[in-house]
Chain A
Amino acid sequence: MYSYQEFDRSFVRARVEQYRDQVQRRLDGALTEDEFKPLRLMNGVYLQLHAYMLRIAIPYGTLSSRQMRQLAYIADKWDKGYGHFTTRQNIQFNWPRLVDTPDILDALADVDMHAIQTSGNTIRNVTTDQFAGAALDEVADPRPYAELIRQWSTDHPEFQFLPRKFKIAITGAVEDRAVIRAHDIGLQLIEHEGRIAFKVFVGGGLGRTPIIGQELVDRLPAEDLLPYLEAVLSVYNLAGRRDNKYKARIKITVSAMGIDAFRAKVDEAFQSLRAAFTGQDLAVLGDIQKGFAPPQFLEKSQESYFDALDSDIGFREWVQRNVSPHKHASYASATISLKGHGDTPGDATSDQMRTVADLAERFAHDELRISHEQNIVLPHVAQADLPAIYRTLKSIGLATANIGLISDIIACPGMDYCALATARSIPIAQDIALRYALREAEIGHMQIKISGCINACGHHHVGHVGILGLDKAGVENYQITLGGSAGNDASIGEKMGRGFNVDELMPALDRLIDAYLTLRLHEGEIFAETVKRLGTVPFQEALYVVDQAA
C-alpha cells in the first residue's frame, strides 16, 4: 500500500484545520450557507434528507486493517454504528452532525485518510479492480498508477473548477471489473512489445445521458500517462459546457465534438504539455511502486482446506461463489458479501468492520479492498486459511455465498437517504434478495443494479437487469432496462416500457425470471447470454403480459 509521506500528512492536517475554521465561521454566522456550502462539499460534507452525510475517500478501494478499525470507531462515536460502502469504492456516514465533522476529519487524518475531492467539480477518487495486484488475469498492478493520479489530481489548481465532476477508472486485468468504459476516462493497462502501455477510453458515463466510452488511444506509453491525462483534462476544461450542468460532462463534449476532433485537440495539447513533464512524475511513480510490492506469500499445508471443501457444504458453496483465483497458486481473493438476504447493500456495522479488519490483519497481509459492487475483499489469502475466515465471517453474518447472483445487487441509497432521489432503492433490493434467496443458485449469474434517480449512482444502465426508481405523479415507479453489461462488452440496457409501481414490480420480475428459466438453452447459459441470443422481445413480452391480456 501507499504510505503517507510527511507532505501528505501536513497537507491533510492543514485542510482539516482550514475546514474547522470554516465550520466555526458558519456557526458564528460569519459565513452564509451559500458561502459555506462549496467549502463543506470540498470536504465531503453533503446535506441529505434526514441529516448531513460525510463521504470519505477510500483511494482505489484500498484499506488497511487500521484504517477499517478507524472507520468503525467513527461509526460508533459520531454516527449510528454502521457505514455504507458505495459504488465509487468510498464509504458514507449518514448521520454526522455538522459540528462533529472537523473531529471526524481529524480522526481520519490520524490514519492517513480524508474526504477531499469526494464532491465538487473535481477529479474524484480513482477507482479500480478490487482484485488489483492479486488477480490471475492481470497484466500489471493498476494501483501505483491510480496513486500517481491521486497525487497529481489532489488540489491540482487547474482542475478544481472543472465544468463538472470527473471520474477515472483503471484496470490492469484482462477482464474489466472496474467498469472503465462507464467513466469519464477509462484506462486499461496492456502489454505491448514487452512494455506497459494504456488503452485510453474517454467520454463514458451513466446518469441521464448514458454513453459507453470510446477509444481515444490504443497504446499510450505508460510514461506519458500524466501529460496525456493533463491534455485530456485541459481540452475538456476549455471546451466543456458550463452553461448547462446537464450537458457539462465530458461525454457530452466528446459526443458533440466527435471522437476524431476531440482526439486531435488532445494530441495538440499533449504536444505542448509533454515537455513540461521532465521525469519527476516517473520518479514519483517509481517510489510509489515500491509500496505496492506483492506481499511475502506463505506456503501452508492445504489439508484442512480440502477437508473443509469435502465436509462442509456451506464452505464449499462460499468458495465456489465468493473466492477468486489469485496469481499465486496457493492463494485466493475472498469477497465478503455485504448483501446478506434482506440486508442493505453495501452496509457494514462497526462490529463487522472490526472483525473484518482482524481477518485482514491475521490472514490477508493487512489489506482490504472495497469493490464497486459494494462488497469487501480480502485480496491475498492463503487457501489454507479460507476455512477459518469462513467460520469467522459466518459468526458475524457475513458469509453469504452470493457473489454474482441475483441478490448481489448494487443499490444506491435512494430516497431513504439521498436528497436527489426520486424513489427508494434499498427496500427494492431487500425484497428481491429475500424473494429469490432459495432460487438464486438455480437462476445463476445475474446482475441487478438499482438507482433511485436518473443520476444512476446504482449503475442501472449497465445491469443485466436495471431498475430505475422514478416519481410518477407522486407515486414511486420503477422502470426496467435489460441487456446492459458492465464488463468487457460494456453496453447500455434497453428500456423495456412503462414503469411498474411497487406492488407490480415483484410479479413482473417473477415473470421475467420464469421466462429466462424457460428460454435458456441450458443451466450454464446465464441471463445476459440468453438476452443476447434472443434479444429483449421475449422478456419484454413476459414483463408486460398483463398489459397485453387487459
Chain B
Amino acid sequence: MARIKAPVVITANDLLTGEVVYLDPAHRWSPELSSAKVFNVIDEAEDELATLFSEAVVISAYLAEVSNDAVVTPRHYRETFRHKGPSNYFHGKQAVQDAEVAA
C-alpha cells in the first residue's frame, strides 16, 4: 500500500455511536471535517495518532488524506462517503448537515 501523503487529518469513529469524527486543534473529537486539525507533516500526524491508542472515547483512529484548499475535503472516495453518508438513503452526516441548514 502506498505511503499516505500529507496533508492529512486524524479520523475515527465515536465509541458510543460509531459516528465518524475528526480530531480538532484543541484535541477534541468533532463530527465536522471542517473542524479537523490538518497536519501538513506526516510524522507529526503519526506521533499524534500514536498517543491516541489509549483513547477511550473513539475507536479505529487513522490518518486520512485531504485537500486543504479553501475548504478541507477528503481525497479518497471512501472518506467522502464517511464524511457525507451512504448514497442510497439520505442518512448519516448529510442528513444532519441538511437539518442544521434547515434550522
Q: Which residues of A contact B (CB under 8 A)?
A: 26-27, 29, 32-33, 47-52, 80, 95-99, 344, 347, 415-417, 424, 426-427, 430, 471, 474-476
Distance from B57 Cβ to chain A, minimum over Cβ atoms (Å)? 10
Note all chain A residues with C-beta closer than 8 A to B86: 50, 416-417, 426
Asked whether B28 is an interface residue with its Cβ less than 8 Å from the other chain, the reply is no
Contact, CB under 8 Å: A415 / B78: yes
With a 10 A CB-CB cut-off, give which of B13, B86, B89, B91 has the most chain A CB atoms.
B86
Q: Which residues of A contact B41 (CB under 8 A)?
A: none
Establish whether residues B77 and A27, one from each chain, have CB atoms under 8 Å apart when the complex forms. no
CB distance from B67 to the nearest CB of A (A): 12
Jot down 5 A-B pairs with beta carbons below 8 A, ordered by A: A26-B15, A97-B17, A347-B88, A415-B77, A474-B76
Give B66 Cβ to nearest chain A Cβ, in Å. Answer: 13
Q: For A29, A47, A99, A416, which residue has the most chain B Cβ atoms within 10 angstroms?
A: A416
Q: Is the CB of A416 within 8 A of B81?
A: yes
Cα of A441 to Cα of B18 in the assembled complex, Å:
43
Specify the chain B residue showing the minimal Cβ separation from A476.
B77
Which residue from chain A places its CB closest to the CB of B65 in the assembled complex?
A474
The interface residues of chain A lying within 8 Å CB-to-CB of B16 are 27, 97-99
Q: Is the interface of B mostly helix, strand, loop or mixed?
A: loop
For the complex, give the distance between the alpha carbons of A475 and B80 in Å: 12
* CA–CA, A332 and B89, complex, Å: 34
Task: Check A51 against B18 for contact (C-beta < 8 Å).
Answer: yes
Cα–Cα, bound, A415→B92 (Å): 14
Q: Does the CB pair A47–B56 fall under 8 Å?
A: no
Q: Name the B residues within 8 Å of A97 (CB-CB).
A: 16-18
Complex contact A29–B76 (CB within 8 A): no
Q: How far is the CB of B21 from chain A (nearest CB, A)?
A: 11
Query: What is the bound-complex CA distance between A430 and B89, given in angstroms?
Result: 12
Give the shortest distance, in Å, between A87 (CB) and chain B (any CB). 17
The B63-103 residues at the A interface (CB cut-off 8 A) are 75-78, 81-82, 85-89, 91-93
Name, among B17, B18, B19, the residue most crowded by chain A CB atoms within 10 Å (CB to CB): B18
**Shortest distance between the CB of A450 and any CB in chain B (Å):** 13
Q: Tell yes or no: B40 within 8 A of A by CB.
A: no
Q: Are B18 and A98 in contact (CB under 8 A)?
A: yes
Q: Is the CB of A344 within 8 A of B91?
A: no
Closest A-B pairs by Cβ, 6 of them = A51-B18, A416-B86, A52-B18, A426-B88, A344-B88, A50-B92
Determine if A95 and B91 form an interchain contact, defined as CB atoms under 8 angstroms apart: yes
For the complex, give the distance between the alpha carbons of A80 and B75 in Å: 29
B60 at the A interface (CB under 8 A):
yes
Cβ distance A506 to chain B, nearest Cβ, rounded Å = 16
Check B19 against A50 for contact (C-beta < 8 Å).
yes
Q: Which chain B residue shows the least CB distance to A427?
A: B87
Tell yes or no: B59 within 8 A of A by CB: yes
The residue on B at minimum CB distance from A26 is B15
Q: How long is the Cα–Cα vector from A274 to B14 in the complex, in angstroms? A: 50
Nearest opposing residue in chain B for A29, CB measure: B56
Residues of A within 8 A of B20 (CB): 49-50
**Contact status B17-A427, CB under 8 Å:** no
A47 near B59 with CB under 8 A, answer yes
- Chain A minimum-CB-distance residue to B56: A29
Enumerate chain A residues within 8 angstroms of B88, measured Cβ to Cβ: 344, 347, 416, 426-427, 430
Q: In the complex, what distance in Å separates the CA atom of A47 from the CA atom of B17?
A: 10
- CA–CA, A518 and B19, complex, Å: 50
